[in-house]
Amino acid sequence: MAFDLSNPDHAAAVESFLDGRWHEACVILQKLRDDHPDDHVILLLLGKTKYSLGLLEEAIALFNEAVGLKPDFGNAYYELGVCYYRCGRLQKSLDAFNKVLSQGGQGHAMASYFVGLINHLLGNDEAALQGFAGLRRVSRESLIANFYLAQIKMKERKYDEALGLLRELVAETPTLAEVHYLIGTAQFHLHNNSEAIKSYRTTLELNPDDTRARAVLEMLIDV
């Protein structure tokens, strides 16, 4: 039996889920799962409920069962990726998010973010660049990608490109101390010492405990 919101039990499950009544939703969805073990939507909703309760292993098992029934179920692969990420199983998480991106119309913008982030954490800079660039293509407003893109650009010594990305991000959130530090570092490498000094001073105003910024600032002032 396919999931059907005209069915009172199905509607009650969704209402409880959307209202955040996780335990109530879990009871209803578990009964539906017992009655309809081959319904991938019920498995997805039950998995999301378990996830919301912090029961990650149970959620993973349910999402895996859902994709076993529907191998092109991008939504379930996305949830799998999030669960694996939270569990620290980065390669499995990356595989799940790449599976989402391979589903075409089922793609999820945040899957690209996670692909970029995980590859960044694993030191796979080229793959990380592709992931974050993919996020910006589908969601231009996702400026948090700039933070990671700029770090990779700086590793590549492309300081002008990094600076543009960082300025765009800090315009949205001027209190990001780490971004001001990175701006200062980019300016320093571009030999714009007066601008670097300004950025390091701003960093210390926002985060007085940043010993990195303090050390570089003192060096620049003493020059």
What confidence tier does 105 reach under pLDDT thresholds 50, 70, 90? Answer: low
From residue 177, alpha-carbon distances to 85, 181, 185, 220 in Å are: 26, 6, 12, 19
Looking at residue 2, its pLDDT comes to 64
Contact predicate 80/95, CB 8 Å: no
**pLDDT single digits (tens) 30-60:** 998 998 899 999 999 999 999 999 999 999 9
* Residue 119, token pair as written in the block: 């590859």
Contact predicate 219/197, CB 8 Å: no
* Residue 108, token pair as written in the block: 């999820």
Residue 222 confidence (pLDDT) above 90: no
Q: Of 170, 221, 219, whose CA–CA distance to 183 is shortest?
A: 170
Which residue is it, tokens 């001027």? 174
Residue 137 confidence (pLDDT) above 90: no
Amino acid symbol at 122: L
**pLDDT single digits (tens) 11-21:** 887 888 888 88
Hey, how many other C-beta atoms are within 10 angstroms of the C-beta on 7? Answer: 13
What confidence tier does 3 reach under pLDDT thresholds 50, 70, 90? Answer: low
- Collect all residues with Cβ–Cβ distance below 8 Å to 80 and sequence separation of at least 6: 60, 63, 64, 67, 92, 93, 96
What confidence tier does 64 reach under pLDDT thresholds 50, 70, 90? Answer: very high
What does the mean pLDDT of the chain come to? Answer: 92
Alpha helices (runs of H) in 2-108, residue ranges in sequence order:
8-18, 22-35, 40-52, 56-69, 74-86, 90-101
What confidence tier does 107 reach under pLDDT thresholds 50, 70, 90? Answer: low
* Residue 221, token pair as written in the block: 């002032």
Give CA–CA dist 153/47, Å, rounded: 38
Residue 80 confidence (pLDDT) above 80: yes
DSSP 8-class letter at 7: S
Domains of the chain as residue ranges with CATH? 158-223 (1.25.40.10)
DSSP 8-class letter at 104: G
Looking at residue 106, its pLDDT comes to 62
For the whole model, what pTM was predicted? 0.85
The percentage of the chain sitting over the pLDDT mark of 90, rounded to a whole number, equals 77
Residue range 162-188: average pLDDT? 96
* Residue 12, token pair as written in the block: 């009650």
Q: Of 78, 60, 80, 67, whose CA–CA distance to 41 is shortest?
A: 67
Residue 6 confidence (pLDDT) above 80: no
* Residue 173, token pair as written in the block: 């959130």
Looking at residue 40, its pLDDT comes to 94
Looking at residue 140, its pLDDT comes to 87
